[in-house]
Amino acid sequence: MRRRFGIRNCLAGGFLAIAVILLAFSLSVSKLPGNTEREALRVSRSVTHRMHILDEYISSALTADRRTWAGHNDVPSDMVIYRYIDDTLQSWSNQFPVRNDNIGSGIVFSRLSKPRESIYSPLAEVTSEVTFVNYGQKWFLVKAETLGSRKVIAGLEIVDSMSEDSPNGVNKKLGLGRNYLIVPLSESSGSATVIDGKPVFKIVVDSVAGQSAAMHSTMIWFAIACFIIASLLHLAQKRSLKRLLIVLAGLFVVITATYLWGENMKNSAPLFSPTVYADGQLFNSLGAVLIASLLIVLSVCCTFVTRNDIYRRILSAKHSKACLVTYTVINFLMIAGVLAFVHVIFRSIILNSNISLELYRLNDLNIFSLLVYLTLIGLLMTVPLLTQMIMPALKHLFGGVRHDFFSAGSRIITAIAFAAYMVVMAGTLGFKKEQNRVNVWANRLSMERDISLELELRRVEEKIASDQVISTLAVIPNSNGIILNRIIENHLMRIAQDYDFMVELFPENEKSQAAIAYFTNMVTRGTPISDGSRFRYIRDAGRHSLYTGSFAYYNSGNGVTMMLLTVSPKSNRENKGYSQLLGYSAPGDVLIPARYSYAKYSGKTLASYKGNYSYPTIVDEELEMEIEAATDGVVRMNGYTHFVNRISNNDLIIVSRPKTEDFSYCVAFLFLTLVFYFCLTLLTLTRIHPKQHESNYYKSRINAAMMLALIMTLITLAAVSVLFVYRRNNANLKSSMADKITSLQTLLQARCRYIQDFNDFSPQEASGILEDISNTMKSDITLYTTSGKEFRSTTPEVFDMMMLGSRMSPDAYENIIFKNKRYYISKERIGSKRTNFLYAPVFNAHGKMIAIMCSPFTDESFDFKSEAVLHSITIITVFMILLLLARVIIAKAVDKMFKPLSEMGRKMNAASINNLEYIVYERDDEVARLVRAYNLMVHDLYNSTRKLTQAERDKAWATMARQVAHEIKNPLTPIKLQIQRLIRMKKNGNPAWADRFDEISDEVLKQIDLLADTANEFSTFAKLYTEEPVEINLDKLLKEEIDLFDSRDNIKFSYMGLDNATVMGPKPQLTRVFVNLINNAVQAIENAQAENKEKGQELMQGRIVISLRLSSKDGFYDIVFEDNGPGVSEENRSKLFTPNFTTKSNGTGLGLSICRNILEKCNGEIFYSKSFSLKGACFTVRFPRS
């Protein structure tokens, strides 16, 4: 025990020391300036190592055959390899984010059609010397190597300012600390990183506010965890109230400090950010809620650990009953407080945060959802702990109240109640939150026009109309792209990132009637955005919002040219590709998740819609009745939940989503039930005693083996099921992607049958073809040249902003050009997402490859992650329930299997000479043989016992006869001798015989009394096994017997009784036991008084104390007989209850032996000890309660 306490003390001290060290280190390091020289030296070694690896890839690319693809699939993602043959890019691995990768020495000129593109190639300036350069949002160390006509330009990525994997954007493989930055050598501060003796860049300390706190938050969390562990270990070493108060005070201080520290982390830690959750001053972040909950959970757990000491102190208090009542009331208030706190924060988090707690919506769950559930589970686990603490008090106050809240039945009921509460709360409040969100969407959908865009168009329309450059370009054929870039660069740069623009020219001599009709329709449709404005608000065929502006430009000799400028939000692309991956949305646009559909009705007629649900074209009577009947604005029909919002009497917006199946609620409920049940089970593990475990050794082993087999089956089936779902989804996904790439390829080739080369594509023609096919297939399309360079795209801004490289995937290029694949599917990263890109060659009518097309696959109908996770959770939940049922069945089966063995053990334990029982077992199996052997043994033992009993009975009668003869002979001998003496005296005429007659008569009578006592003793033996037990009031019986003896002046009797102390037993025999013990005490005192008188000493006052009380052994009474006599010497104590042993001159030696036999027959016992208070004898009779 001492060793265990020593280990706990050492562990507590160790964790406390670690907490102090971590906290001190965190606080000190956060205030120290960074050691840039040390970091620069370490980064220099890392960069040198990476550059050596890069040199190996450069050498391999230089020596590869010029006719083969030199791209390497195993090139690390932070390295780029470009191989040029005769200044033409022939192969590449990864990409530089540059728009122009040409290195030719020809004349370079600016192209008006793409003014934002650099007029020179940054790669043309790369030399053999390692240089730190900036390409787009990235910084590289680049170098070039040449071998004949081959040239390799390679780079090592150093910094990516858009990276989400590293807080400072630095390549994680360089090992730079997160509070440092890499900057060019032009910076005045910092330490230079050297490569081969040459400085390439500098390392500086990041001085962004909050960076240090964010950096060291992990160490602070570890310090807090170590302090909590140290506190718990300290309390576990001695579970006392005093130590509890110390630990709670320490936890309160630390948790409060953590709360205040979190206040300063709002801008650097999402956990404490009000953008995640905020509700009032106290709970101003999710971290604040978690910290407060942690304090509650730890306080309750610590109190539960010390409950025994608290309860002991209450019972020993002066007013124990009042203290118990107060203790019970406080516990009930704590239970009510915890439940109220759980309800308040559960409701608050759902309604005041963007955290989803609906387990059946897996896509919406995140790490914060997990933290919230762990917090709620921890808080709810304190309820059974507090309830269990009340039970001893209730039992003491009311009696008979006994319930174990950690029993199997209570655990199941508690788990079901908690799980039902959480599912109902999450479902109800989550639906209410969804209704509020849908109402916001509906209100924003009701606003069709973009006010901010209209203001911007009004501001620039006169400038566009008076732009002379546009007037000059308007007469040049196919100048649409040049004019468009002029408008964007000079007039609409503010909104260029959020809107698409299209320029169409209609000269005065336009002969196409279709073009004239189109222009007339576009300038007469819709509504002017203001009086006198050239722009009009219209809707296209897909009911998307558009703004069209008409401008007239006069040129002498060419007349008037009309220009039509169309402005449309990029959100009109309907998430058909890059817009979905990059999250495009116009200002004020409504971003509705893909699983929702919506429809807008104007005058009961469908005006616009979006999504997969098939809305009726008109609001018929049936739909109208359903809407009118829905008082809460929710209609459930056709497997969908419809949120109905009336904007006005004639305008109606319906937002719909698939209905959440009841099965999903059931799975969530069962899953949470299992979680709560296992958490409650964990709380009971410490209550398993080793003796109990050992007593069920074989049962436990069999149960464990069968449970292990079932668990392995569960794991195997779950893994196989998930693997099956994965492969099925992959097969369906590949089939869908193959169908889509085939359709795109067919449509493109149909429109490009007579094009001989990609250079034959006019910008307007190529854009028109791609837009038509893109709108048809709901997918963005990019065309690459046969050398793998992008030249046309429906979303050119992703290349202009260098979010994607200008070169196609090297793997796709190799497979299509060198391996002649019909199509290729490549998994690529764009922004923070990885998605599939579909590549396919485009052939003309003569079978010549004129381009390579690419389209991102963004079909949301395939969601393997959610389906696989939901499938796994469903399988695991169902199997866990089956596992629990199987556990019960197995336990019953094993119990039934071991029942004969248990019965055999019970009967063997209870076996005695008079109690031998057979086992009835009707089956014929392995156990039956053991049962038969046991029954045969019982039969043989019965016969042997009967013979032994007969022999012992004969022996007992012989012994009894000798004892009777001995006991009778002892008094008869003196009687005979005295009478013979008297006869001789009379016969001899001795006159003294008359005087001796009285003396001899007294002696004869005395011996006759001894014979009578001996007869009574043997009579008692005869009655020991014949009297039937009756109900006896011990208190009354003892009082009666004491009254018979309490008539002596020299002995004082004291009695301490117990009301309503009743037992079942033979009353005459039990009375004899009490009389014998009292009589022994009286005789011992009187003998001691007689000895004192003979010695002339002062006579002592005799005292006998008899007590009736509850025994320390459960289910028994103790009757204690104490006196202040001489007691029993040490050498005689072992002989006390032996027959024929006595210390009295006229005793038979049978009294105590008979007492013990009587008590043992009644399942009682008697034992001797020295009286602590009276210093004499103390006999304790322990008798079972009725």
Q: How many beta carbons lie within 10 A of that of residue 441, not counting itself?
A: 19
| Average pLDDT for 784-789 | 87
Better-scored residue on pLDDT, 869 or 940: 940
SS3 content of the chain, % helix, strand, coil (to 5): 55, 20, 30
Entry pTM = 0.65
C-alpha to C-alpha distance for 594 and 657, rounded to whole angstroms: 9
pLDDT at 4: 46
pLDDT at 843: 92
Give the sign of the dihedral formed by CA 1013, CA 1018, CA 1024, CA 1027.
Answer: negative
C-alpha to C-alpha distance for 407 and 206, rounded to whole angstroms: 57
For residue 863, report the phi and psi dihedrals to the nearest 5 degrees. -130, 80
Under 8 Å between Cβ of 234 and 247: yes
Question: Which ranges of 32-158 does DSSP label H, i.e. alpha helix?
Answer: 36-63
Percent of the chain at pLDDT exceeding 90:
18
Lowest-confidence pick of 694-708, 904-918, 1066-1080: 904-918
Lowest-confidence pick of 524-538, 602-616, 881-895, 1171-1185: 881-895
Is pLDDT at 586 greater than 80 in this prediction?
no
Question: What does the pLDDT look like over 789-801, one tens digit per residue?
Answer: 888 888 777 776 6
Question: What does the pLDDT look like over 28-45, one tens digit per residue?
Answer: 655 555 678 888 999 999
CA dihedral 778, 779, 785, 790 (to 10 degrees): 130
| Average pLDDT for 186-211 | 80
| Average pLDDT for 73-85 | 89
Q: How many beta carbons lie within 10 A of that of residue 268, not counting itself?
A: 18
| Average pLDDT for 890-912 | 71
Is pLDDT at 866 greater than 80 in this prediction?
no
End-to-end CA distance of the chain: 39
Better-scored residue on pLDDT, 968 or 737: 737
| Average pLDDT for 526-531 | 88
Phi-psi category of residue 195: left, alpha or beta, with phi > 0 → left and psi -120 to 50 → alpha: beta
Question: What does the pLDDT look like over 1170-1180, one tens digit per residue?
Answer: 888 888 999 99
Q: How confident is the model at residue 145 (pLDDT cuts 50, 70, 90)?
A: very high
| Average pLDDT for 721-727 | 78
Is pLDDT at 582 greater than 70 in this prediction?
no
Better-scored residue on pLDDT, 498 or 1039: 1039
Q: How confident is the model at residue 1129 (pLDDT cuts 50, 70, 90)?
A: confident
Q: How confident is the model at residue 907 (pLDDT cuts 50, 70, 90)?
A: low
pLDDT at 108: 42
Under 8 Å between Cβ of 220 and 161: no
C-alpha to C-alpha distance for 616 and 605, rounded to whole angstroms: 9
Is pLDDT at 373 greater than 60 in this prediction?
yes
Tell me the average pLDDT of the chain.
81
Better-scored residue on pLDDT, 1111 or 858: 1111
pLDDT at 690: 45
Question: What does the pLDDT look like over 212-231, one tens digit per residue?
Answer: 444 567 788 888 889 988 88
Strand-strand pairing, 535-539 and 191-195? unpaired
Tell me the CB-side half-sphere exposure of residue 415, using CA atoms within 13 A. Answer: 22
Closest by CA to 854, choosing from 828, 877, 831, is 828
C-alpha to C-alpha distance for 1129 and 1148, rounded to whole angstroms: 19
Lowest-confidence pick of 134-148, 331-345, 1039-1053: 1039-1053
pLDDT at 33: 56
| Average pLDDT for 602-609 | 79
Question: What does the pLDDT look like over 494-512, one tens digit per residue?
Answer: 777 677 788 888 888 877 7
Is pLDDT at 1078 greater than 70 in this prediction?
yes
Q: How confident is the model at residue 211 (pLDDT cuts 50, 70, 90)?
A: very low
**What is the Cα 546 distance to its own chain's centre?**
49
C-alpha to C-alpha distance for 1056 and 1173, rounded to whole angstroms: 15
Highest mean pLDDT among 285-294, 609-618, 655-664: 285-294
Phi-psi category of residue 42: left, alpha or beta, with phi > 0 → left and psi -120 to 50 → alpha: alpha
Highest mean pLDDT among 251-255, 866-870, 878-882, 1059-1063: 251-255
Is pLDDT at 1097 greater than 90 in this prediction?
no
Under 8 Å between Cβ of 182 and 159: yes
Q: How confident is the model at residue 864 (pLDDT cuts 50, 70, 90)?
A: low
C-alpha to C-alpha distance for 32 and 25, rounded to whole angstroms: 10
pLDDT at 169: 83
Question: What does the pLDDT look like over 431-476, one tens digit per residue?
Answer: 999 888 888 888 877 777 778 888 889 999 999 999 998 988 888 8
C-alpha to C-alpha distance for 81 and 87, rounded to whole angstroms: 15
* Per-residue tokens: 805: 């490289």
C-alpha to C-alpha distance for 185 and 1113, rounded to whole angstroms: 87
Is pLDDT at 422 greater than 90 in this prediction?
yes
* Per-residue tokens: 1097: 């000493």
pLDDT at 341: 94
C-alpha to C-alpha distance for 470 and 112, rounded to whole angstroms: 12
C-alpha to C-alpha distance for 660 and 1042, rounded to whole angstroms: 82
pLDDT at 1091: 85
What is the crossing angle of helices 662-684 and 864-910, to 10°?
Answer: 40
Give the sign of the dihedral formed by CA 941, CA 947, CA 950, CA 951.
Answer: negative
| Average pLDDT for 278-284 | 83
Phi-psi category of residue 301: left, alpha or beta, with phi > 0 → left and psi -120 to 50 → alpha: alpha
Is pLDDT at 591 greater than 90 in this prediction?
no
Tell me the CB-side half-sphere exposure of residue 249, using CA atoms within 13 A. Answer: 6
Q: Which residues pair with 84 in a beta bridge?
A: 89, 151
Is pLDDT at 6 greater than 70 in this prediction?
no
Is pLDDT at 296 greater than 90 in this prediction?
yes
Q: How would you class 68 by CB atoms within 10 Å of its CB: exposed for 0-12, middle for 13-18, buried for 19 or more?
A: exposed
Give the sign of the dihedral formed by CA 258, CA 261, CA 266, CA 270.
Answer: negative
Question: What does the pLDDT look like over 49-71, one tens digit per residue?
Answer: 999 999 999 999 898 888 787 76
* Per-residue tokens: 1006: 């005395």
Percent of the chain at pLDDT exceeding 70:
84
Lowest-confidence pick of 85-99, 348-362, 673-687, 1104-1118: 673-687
